[in-house]
């Protein structure tokens, strides 16, 4: 049985060109980038090259990029870093109810340390209202952290509008762009973004590497202490092979962004067409106008998540209930809870399909066909 992976928002397969690059670097460039000899200089060169290109991809300067171990560390560094450096100016933080847990749990921790956090609601499409951000701003607001695109339902937030509102306020603007990077054109200077998190494993790069963009106007206290790596902002010997792989993944994703967006929009349409042809009752969770192209979150009345996922897996379809990081838990998704009422049936019967590398139209049509069969069986 051919297995069809439609869970790319959880993690994505590593591009073979990335694997090739990493293998090459692991074999040849093992030097410590802090060493002044030839081996060290070669490793340093790899990092410098990656930093410059990654910066360029979001219109930042090379020294505004800090390599991290991924999205979670980037989010934590942003949030705790701002709290520590700017906490003397105020203790208020604004975020949304639909953030990834890397942001939500960091905010919860700060509450226990005396900070006050406003968790903004979203509408039924999972979108925060920029006017609500403006209303929530106070003189003592030091941080606004709002994700770029949601990992469970794909809704894109009004980042540009929020950036404009914050232009007249000293609060630092952080956005978790882990799902959006590589599929959305991001310009940190134009959008007024001060801090931005990215993770390589969502764009066909290796796990355990990411970056935090830190505007040169923002001073963040470090999270790790030790050597002087990353200009004393993140101690620890750099993960050179992963950084080289990350660069390769970024090069490919920047080059192929437009084709990917078109392909994934086509996959969404093809999947939905199959369901309609098979007369399946479903509704789409998220926004039709503001959506990441690779995420399709669907509710199937009369089914339940666990039965759907087990049956899909038996049919060779790897999908998910939403946030990969909470997979296995039977708690309803906090994102859907924020979008709908507590007792809404959609909290129990929603499935996320997310598309990416190696998916073909034939695969997506088969996934749509198998999903239709399962829904029919479960609702008989």
Ligand X SMILES: Cc1ncc(COP(=O)(O)O)c(C=O)c1O
User: 334 CB contacts (<8 Å, ≥6 apart)?
Assistant: 97, 98, 104
3-state secondary structure of 13: coil
> Smallest gap, in angstroms, from Cβ of residue 333 to ligand X?
13
Token pair recorded at residue 40: 């060290």
Nearer to ligand X, 101 or 366 (CB): 101
Nearer to ligand X, 203 or 275 (CB): 203
The CB-nearest residue to ligand X is: 71
What residues does 174 pair with on adjacent strands?
A: 145, 195
3-state secondary structure of 86: helix
> Smallest gap, in angstroms, from Cβ of residue 343 to ligand X?
27
- Catalytic residue among 325, 337, 357, 378, which? 325
> Smallest gap, in angstroms, from Cβ of residue 70 to ligand X?
3
> Smallest gap, in angstroms, from Cβ of residue 295 to ligand X?
10
Distances in whole angstroms, Cα of residue 234 to Cα of each of 56, 65, 66, 191, 250? 21, 11, 7, 26, 22
Token pair recorded at residue 242: 């992963």
Helices (H), the chain: 16-28, 38-57, 71-86, 101-112, 130-136, 159-166, 188-191, 229-232, 240-277, 305-314, 334-339, 361-379
The residues of the shown chain that bind ligand X, judged by CB under 6 A, are 70-72, 75, 100, 102, 147, 151, 176, 178-179, 199, 201, 210, 324-325
> Smallest gap, in angstroms, from Cβ of residue 305 to ligand X?
18
Return d(Cα 270, Cα 66) in angstroms, integer: 39
Closest CA to 82 of 164, 133, 90: 90
Nearer to ligand X, 178 or 220 (CB): 178
Active site residue 325: yes
Q: Do residues 335 and 98 make contact, with C-beta atoms less than 8 angstroms apart?
A: yes
Nearer to ligand X, 44 or 352 (CB): 352
Nearer to ligand X, 70 or 81 (CB): 70
Catalytic residue positions, numbered: 325
């Amino acid at each position: 049985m051919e297995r069809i992976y439609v869970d790319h928002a959880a993690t994505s397969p590593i591009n073979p060109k990335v694997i090739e690059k990493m293998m090459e670097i692991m074999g040849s460039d093992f030097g410590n980038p802090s060493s002044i000899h030839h081996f060290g200089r070669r490793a340093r060169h790899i990092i410098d090259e990656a930093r410059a290109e990654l910066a360029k991809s979001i219109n930042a300067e090379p020294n505004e990029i800090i390599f991290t171990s991924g999205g979670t560390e980037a989010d934590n560094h942003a949030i705790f870093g701002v709290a520590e450096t700017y906490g003397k100016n105020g203790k208020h933080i604004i975020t949304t109810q639909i953030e990834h847990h890397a942001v939500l749990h960091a905010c919860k921790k700060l509450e226990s340390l005396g900070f006050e956090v406003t968790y903004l609601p979203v509408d039924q499409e999972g979108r925060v209202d920029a006017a609500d951000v403006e209303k929530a701003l106070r003189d003592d607001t030091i941080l606004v952290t709002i994700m770029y695109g949601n990992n469970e339902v794909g809704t894109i937030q009004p980042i540009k509008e929020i950036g404009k509102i914050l232009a007249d306020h000293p609060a630092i603007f952080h956005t978790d762009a882990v799902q959006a990077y590589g599929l959305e054109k991001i310009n940190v200077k134009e959008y007024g973004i001060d801090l931005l998190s990215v993770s390589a494993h969502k764009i066909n790069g290796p796990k355990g590497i990411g970056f935090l963009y830190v505007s040169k106007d923002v001073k963040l206290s470090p999270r790790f202490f030790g050597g002087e790596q990353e200009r004393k902002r993140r101690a620890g010997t750099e993960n050179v092979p992963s950084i080289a792989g990350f660069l390769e993944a970024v090069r490919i994703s920047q080059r192929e962004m437009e084709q990917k967006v078109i392909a994934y929009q086509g996959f969404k349409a093809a999947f939905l067409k199959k369901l309609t042809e098979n007369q399946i009752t479903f509704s789409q969770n998220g926004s039709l106008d503001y959506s990441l192209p690779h995420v399709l979150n669907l509710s199937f009345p009369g089914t339940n998540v666990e039965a759907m996922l087990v049956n899909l897996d038996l049919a060779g379809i790897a999908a998910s209930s939403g946030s990969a990081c909470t997979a296995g838990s039977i708690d309803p998704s906090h994102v859907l809870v924020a979008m709908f009422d507590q007792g809404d049936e959609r909290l129990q019967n929603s499935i996320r399909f997310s598309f990416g590398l190696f998916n073909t139209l034939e695969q997506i049509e088969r996934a749509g066909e198998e999903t239709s069969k399962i829904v029919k069986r479960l609702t008989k």
